[in-house]
Chains A and B, each alone.
Chain A
Amino acid sequence: MFHWLEKNPFLFAVGVFIVIAFAGLIEIVPNFAEASRPVIGTKPYSTLELAGRQVYIKNSCNACHSQLIRPFKSETDRYGHYSLSGEYAYDRPFLWGSKRTGPDLHRVGNYRTTEWHENHMKDPKSIVPTTIMPGYPWMFTTNADIDTAYAEQLTVAQFFGVPYNKPVPMKDGSTTVVKMGKSIKEARELALEEAKKVAADMKDQDVKDAVARGEIPEIVALIAYLNSLK
Chain B
Amino acid sequence: MENRPLEYDYTVAKMFMLTTIILGIVGMAIGVFIAFELAFPGLNTVFGEGLAEYTNFSRLRPLHTDAVAFGFTVSGIFATWFYVGQRVLKVSMAESKFLMFIGKLQFWLYVIGVAAVVVSLFMGYTTSKEYAEFEWPIDIAIVVVWVLWGVSIFGLIGIRREKSLYISIWYYIATFLGVAMLYLFNNMEVPTMLATSPAGESAIGDWMHSVSMYAGTNDALVQWWYGHNAVAFVFTVPIIAMIYYFLPKESGQAIYSYKLSLLSFWGLMFVYLWAGGHHLLFSTVPDWMQTMGSIFSVILILPSWGSAINMLLTMKGEWQQVAASPLIKFMVLASTFYMFSTLEGPIQAIKSVNAIAHFTDWIVGHVHDGTLGWVGFMIIAALYHMAPRVFKRELYSKSLMAAQFWIQTLGIVLYFTSMWIAGITQGMMWRAHDEFGNLAYSFIDTVDVLHPYYALRGTGGLLYLAGFFIFAYNIYKTWTSNKEVDAERLNASPMGA
Interface residues of A (CB under 8 A from B): 1-3, 6-7, 9, 12-13, 16-17, 19-24, 27-28, 31-32, 34-36, 54, 57-64, 66, 68, 70-75, 77-78, 83-103, 128, 130-138, 145, 147-152, 154-160, 181-184, 186-187
Contact = CB atoms under 8 A, between A and B. Distances in A.
B447 A132 contact: yes
B405 to A, nearest CB: 30
19 contacts: A6-B164, A22-B273, A27-B292, A35-B216, A58-B124, A63-B61, A64-B58, A68-B284, A70-B283, A78-B443, A84-B284, A88-B284, A89-B215, A91-B219, A93-B211, A130-B447, A135-B52, A138-B53, A152-B211
Interface residues of B, number: 95
Contacts of A66: 359
A31 B211 contact: no
A174 B164 CA distance: 69
B198 A182 contact: yes
Contacts of A74: 430-433, 439
A22 B57 CA distance: 38
Given A138-B53, A147-B205, A182-B199, A36 B174 contact: no
Contact of B201 (A19, A36, A102, A183): A183
A83 B173 contact: no
Interface stretch (B79-87, B247-255, B262-270): B262-270
Count chain A CB atoms within 10 A of each CB in B201, B217, B358, B431 and give the residue with the most: B217
B431 A72 contact: yes
Given A138-B52, A145-B206, A100 B359 contact: yes
A19 B270 contact: yes
A131 B193 CA distance: 39
A92 B214 contact: yes
Nearest to B270: A19
Interface in B36-72: 37-38, 41, 44-45, 49, 52-53, 56-59, 61-62
B321 interface: no
Contacts of A92: 211-212, 214-216, 219
Contact of B174 (A20, A99, A136, A138): A20
Nearest to A4: B164
A134 B41 CA distance: 7
Contacts of B324: none
Given A23-B273, A27-B277, A95-B128, A12 B262 contact: no
B150 to A, nearest CB: 10
Contacts of A9: 154, 157, 165, 173
A158 B195 CA distance: 7
A149 B165 contact: no
Interface string B176-206: 0110010001000010111111110100111
Contacts of A31: 217-218, 221, 285-286, 289
A8 B209 CA distance: 43
A93 B129 contact: yes
A108 B496 CA distance: 61
A20 B217 contact: no
Nearest to A63: B61
Contact of A16 (B173, B220, B277, B430): B173
Contact of B355 (A72, A90, A152): A72
Given A35-B218, A57-B128, A87-B216, 11 more contacts: A19-B269, A24-B181, A27-B276, A58-B124, A60-B126, A71-B282, A89-B216, A92-B214, A130-B448, A152-B209, A158-B196
A13 B284 CA distance: 35
Nearest to A103: B443
B289 A27 contact: yes
Given A72-B431, A74-B431, A103-B443, A88 B56 contact: no
Contacts of B438: 77
B127 interface: yes
Contact of B217 (A3, A35, A63, A72): A35
B163 interface: yes
A23 B299 CA distance: 14
Contact of A156 (B37, B165, B197, B211): B211
A93 B170 CA distance: 34
B218 A3 contact: no
Given A7-B163, A74-B430, A148-B206, A183 B192 contact: no
A75 B430 CA distance: 8
